[in-house]
Amino acid sequence: MTGASSGIGQATAIECSRLGARLIINGRNKERLNETLSSLAGDGHIIIDGDLTSKEDIQKIVDLLPQLQGAVLCAGKGMTLPFPFCVREKYDEVFDINFFAPIELLRLLVKKKRLDKESSVVLVSSIGGITKFTMGNGIYGASKAALSSAMKTCARELAPKKIRVNCVNPGMVETKLIHSGTLTEEQHEQDMQKYPLKRYGRPSDIAFGIIYLLSDASSWVTGTNMFIDGGASI
C-alpha cells in the first residue's frame, strides 16, 4: 500500500489490519510510516520506504515485495494554480506522483508477476477532473482523469489473468492535503454546503470503499470508478 503514512492511505492500512490483512506499507517518510505501523492491528506487517517519483526506488520496492493478493496505490499530491501559471514543470510535478508513479508501479507488479491470480488493485483517483471542475484545479484534475482512464485499459488487459483493477474517486476528504492548499477554512465551510450530505468525507469513508474493492465481495467488479463523494457528483 502506497501513501500509507497519512490520510486515506493510513486509514485504509489501519482498517485492513483490523480485518486480518498482513500489510506492506510504503511512503517517503520512515518516521511517519512507523507511526502508521504502531497503529496496525496484528503483526507481520512490513515497511518499505521509498520515493515513488524515483525509478530506482520503484524498482527497489518491487524487488522487495512478496506475492500480493491486493495492492492499494494511494500516494498523491494536490496543487491549486490558475491556468495562466500552469507551466509544463507544474504538470510534471503533479503527474509524476499522481499518474506516472502508480502506473509504473502497477506495470512492474504485473511484469515481475508479483500479483496473485484473482488479486485486486485499487487506484485512488478523485472526482476532480471527472465530475467536478474547480477553478485552479486543472493540473490535479487532469492527473486524476488520466489515472481513471488508464485504469480501464489496465482492467481490460489484466482481466484474462483474473486481476481486477478499479478506482475509488473521493470528493473532498478531511486530510492534511486539503488544508495545505489556498482555500481558507471559511471557503471550505462554504464548499461543504454544496455537498448533498453537507460534510466532507472522512478517511475511513474512503477506506471502507477500498476494502470492498479488495475483497471477494467485489469479485465481479473491474474497470469501475467508484465515486465516494457525499453526493457531489449528482
Angle at 51 between CA 49 and CA 57, to 5 degrees: 80
Structure pTM? 0.94
Q: Which of 26, 40, 34 is nearest to 97 (CA)?
A: 26
pLDDT of amino acid 185: 78
Report the top-level CATH class of 63-228: alpha beta
pLDDT of amino acid 97: 97
Q: What are 68's strand-pairing partners?
A: 115
Angle at 133 between CA 152 and CA 223, to 5 degrees: 10
Which residues, including other chains, have CB under 8 Å from residue 14's CB and lie 6 or more apart?
36, 39, 40, 41, 207
Positive or negative, the CA dihedral 2, 198, 139, 86 is negative
* Helices (H), ranges, 159-198: 176-179, 185-192
pLDDT of amino acid 180: 61
pLDDT of amino acid 32: 94
Q: Which three cell numbers stand for residue 110?
A: 504485473
Cβ contact 62:108 at 8 Å = yes
Each of the 234 residues of the chain gets a pLDDT tens digit; together they read 999 999 999 999 999 999 999 999 999 999 999 999 999 999 999 999 999 999 999 999 999 999 999 999 999 998 999 999 999 999 999 999 999 999 999 999 999 999 999 999 999 999 999 999 989 999 999 999 999 999 999 999 999 999 999 999 999 999 876 666 666 778 878 889 999 999 999 999 999 999 999 999 999 999 999 999 999 999
pLDDT of amino acid 177: 66
Q: Which of 112, 106, 96 is nearest to 155 (CA)?
A: 106
